[in-house]
Structures are given as structure tokens and as C-alpha cells.
């Protein structure tokens, strides 16, 4: 990420609008799916985890049906965001040969578009969760803006991984096949169905290193109550993410001259 990228902000905005419009193009309901899909999944989670499995939330056995479903929904929203970023990053530049041939096209901006589109989708899902929490009287929907604060380190990590995977994925095509299993692993290594506080102490430090842990636990605490992550954890994640972004951008630009030959 560089200050020089600011001059491409209109290009990024244009490509992002097109990317979001293409997501539901041709469907009868259009962008309404952005609201209907999260609502449908929330209903499924409530029925499956509470009524079929009788799941109780770790550390809060008295939590109601909607409360448990929302906690799981928040976790799965961030895992879905990570999954969309990872699975698409390996093909991001590979599927854009026309841009590679245009010498003046700033290829790094594709990462902003890719991560931005996934983040908008995640924000819409969290907005639905906040609205449902408000209607159901189980949370504090006014705290939704904190999702952006807690999600900032994750956004930077997503940007770093997108640049890295997009660059390496052109030369190592098998990389794209490793992403779906990796997302499945992330699902169970992230506090989606449990809390970090409920883990043995030796595992809590390891879980804190997972970039998904902070936004999942933070947004849950903000919206539904619970232990808010410490500010030092947020600052540590942010600092590490900034370093990762700088390294990933360097790697992308180092490999970029070979993109055309690799295609």
C-alpha cells in the first residue's frame, strides 16, 4: 500500500462498482440478495444449531436461540470473507490477461477491488445481523461501526495475502487448489463455534495470532456483549499487518515483470 495509489482511487471505485454489480447481474431480485442471503442463513443457523443440535454457547449456557445463532453468524461471516479473499486471490491476475498486456495499467489496484468487494459483502451481512439483533432485543446494533475498527487489521492482512497469492499464483498454478481446504481449516481454527476464553491457556496465545480471532471476538462483544479484546492485541495485529502489506507489495512488484511470460 502506497500513497501513490491514491491517484488511482477513481479507477478502484469504478472497478469495485462493476464487480459488485456483476455479482447479482441477471438475477430477478438483484442486490436484494445481499440482504436475503444473510437472513436465510441466519434462519438456517438458528434452526440447525439450536433446534436440531440443541447447541449451547460455551461460557453462556443461558443464551437464547437468536443470541447463539447471531454469535455463530458473526464468526462465519468473517470466515466467509477470508474464504472469498483467499480462493479468488490466486486467480486475480491470472484471469486478467488483458490488464497484464496493458503496460500502463496499475495491476496492484486489483487487490483493492478484490478485498473491497468481499468486505462490502461482509459489512452487509453484519448489518443484517445488527438489524436482527435490534429487532430481537438481544444486542447493541449501534455498535456496528466497531466492526470496521476491529476488522481493520484483517483488511490489511487480506490485502497482503491477495498481493502475495496473486503474484505467486501466476507461476504456481496448483496454489489455487490448496485454498478451499485451507478455508476449511480456518473454519475450525477460528472461534466460530466457541470462544477463545474457553480454550486451554496454551492454545489461547496461538489463537490470538489468528487474524480472524480479533474481529470475530470483537464484533461479537460489541454487538452482543462479552469480553472486549484488549487494545494491545489490536495494536499488535495492526502493526504486524502493516509489515505484511509492505512485504507483499514488494513481492508483487518484484514478480510483476515476469507475469506476461508466465501466461
Give the whole-angstrom CA distance, residue 176 versus residue 223. 35
List, in sequence order, every residue forming a beta bridge with 57; answer none if it has no partner.
60
Instruction: Kindly indicate the confidence band of residue 251, based on its pLDDT and cuts at 50, 70 and 90.
Output: very high
Q: What's the gap between Cα 122 and its chain centre? A: 7
Q: Where are the alpha helices (DSSP H) in the chain?
A: 9-23, 33-45, 65-89, 97-101, 109-136, 146-171, 175-189, 201-208, 213-224, 231-255, 259-262
Question: Does residue 226 have a pLDDT over 70?
Answer: no
pTM given for the model: 0.88
Query: What is the pLDDT, as a whole number, of residue 3?
Result: 62
**What is the overall mean pLDDT for the chain?**
84
Q: Measured at the alpha carbon of residue 115, what is the angle toward residues 109 and 118, in degrees to the nearest 5?
A: 140
The grid coordinates of residue 5 equal 495509489
Give the percent of the chain with pLDDT over 90.
Answer: 32
Instruction: Kindly indicate the confidence band of residue 42, based on its pLDDT and cuts at 50, 70 and 90.
Output: confident
| DSSP assignment letter at 50 | I
211-227 exposure pattern, b = at least 16 Cβ within 10 A, e = fewer: bbbbbbbbbbbbbbebe
The grid coordinates of residue 95 equal 484471469
Query: What is the pLDDT, as a whole number, of residue 238?
Result: 93
Alpha-carbon distances of 229 from 65, 152, 156, 214, rounded to whole Å: 24, 14, 18, 7
Question: Does residue 146 have a pLDDT over 80?
Answer: no
Q: 103-131: per-residue pLDDT in tens?
A: 678 889 999 999 999 999 899 888 888 88
Question: Does residue 54 have a pLDDT over 70?
Answer: no
Q: Where are the domains of the chain?
A: 3-262
Instruction: Kindly indicate the confidence band of residue 258, based on its pLDDT and cuts at 50, 70 and 90.
Output: confident
- Sequence-separated (6 or more) residues with CB below 8 Å from residue 170: 93, 94, 255, 258, 259, 262, 263
- Lowest average pLDDT, out of 18-22, 76-80, 137-141, 235-239, goes to 137-141
Question: Does residue 5 have a pLDDT over 90?
Answer: no
Residue 93 near residue 167 (C-beta atoms within 8 A): yes
Query: What is the pLDDT, as a whole number, of residue 233?
Result: 84
Question: Does residue 227 have a pLDDT over 70?
Answer: no
Query: What is the pLDDT, as a whole number, of residue 19?
Result: 86
Query: What is the pLDDT, as a whole number, of residue 228?
Result: 65
- Sequence-separated (6 or more) residues with CB below 8 Å from residue 133: 66, 70, 139, 140, 141, 223, 224
Q: Measured at the alpha carbon of residue 72, what is the angle toward residues 70 and 78, in degrees to the nearest 5?
A: 100
Instruction: Kindly indicate the confidence band of residue 2, based on its pLDDT and cuts at 50, 70 and 90.
Output: low
Question: Does residue 64 have a pLDDT over 70?
Answer: no
Query: What is the pLDDT, as a whole number, of residue 83?
Result: 93
- Tell the residue number behind the cell numbers 485451507, with chain if given: 182
Residue 68 near residue 59 (C-beta atoms within 8 A): no
Q: 151-207: per-residue pLDDT in tens?
A: 899 999 999 999 999 999 999 888 989 999 999 999 889 998 888 888 888 888 888
Higher pLDDT residue, 58 or 88?
88
Q: Is 236 helix (H, G, I), strand (E, B) or coil?
A: helix
Question: Does residue 243 have a pLDDT over 90?
Answer: yes
Amino acid at each position: 500500500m502506497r500513497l501513490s495509489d491514491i491517484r488511482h482511487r477513481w479507477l478502484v471505485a469504478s472497478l469495485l462498482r462493476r464487480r459488485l454489480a456483476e455479482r447479482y447481474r441477471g438475477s430477478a431480485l438483484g442486490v436484494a440478495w445481499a440482504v436475503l442471503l444473510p437472513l436465510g442463513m441466519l434462519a438456517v443457523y438458528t434452526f440447525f444449531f439450536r433446534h436440531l443440535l440443541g447447541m449451547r454457547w460455551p461460557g453462556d449456557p443461558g443464551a437464547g436461540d437468536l443470541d447463539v445463532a447471531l454469535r455463530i453468524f458473526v464468526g462465519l461471516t468473517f470466515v466467509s470473507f477470508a474464504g472469498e479473499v483467499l480462493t479468488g486471490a490466486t486467480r486475480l491476475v491470472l484471469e486478467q490477461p488483458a490488464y497484464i498486456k496493458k503496460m500502463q495499467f496499475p495491476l496492484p489496484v486489483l487487490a483493492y477491488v478484490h478485498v473491497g468487494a468481499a468486505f462490502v459483502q461482509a459489512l452487509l451481512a453484519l448489518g443484517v445481523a445488527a438489524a436482527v439483533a435490534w429487532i430481537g432485543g438481544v444486542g447493541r446494533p449501534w455498535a456496528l461501526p466497531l466492526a470496521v475498527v476491529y476488522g481493520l487489521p484483517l483488511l490489511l492482512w487480506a490485502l497482503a495475502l491477495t498481493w502475495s497469492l496473486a503474484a505467486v499464483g501466476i507461476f504456481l498454478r496448483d496454489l489455487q487448489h490448496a485454498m478451499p481446504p485451507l478455508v476449511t481449516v480456518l473454519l475450525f481454527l477460528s472461534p466460530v463455534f466457541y470462544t477463545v476464553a474457553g480454550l486451554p491457556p496454551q492454545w489461547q496465545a496461538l489463537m490470538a495470532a489468528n487474524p480472524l480471532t480479533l474481529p470475530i471476538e470483537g464484533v461479537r462483544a460489541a454487538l452482543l456483549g462479552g469480553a472486549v479484546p484488549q487494545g494491545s492485541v489490536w495494536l499488535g495485529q495492526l502493526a504486524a499487518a502493516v509489515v505484511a502489506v509492505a512485504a507483499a507489495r514488494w513481492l508483487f512488484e518484484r514478480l510483476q515483470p515476469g507475469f506476461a511470460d508466465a501466461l
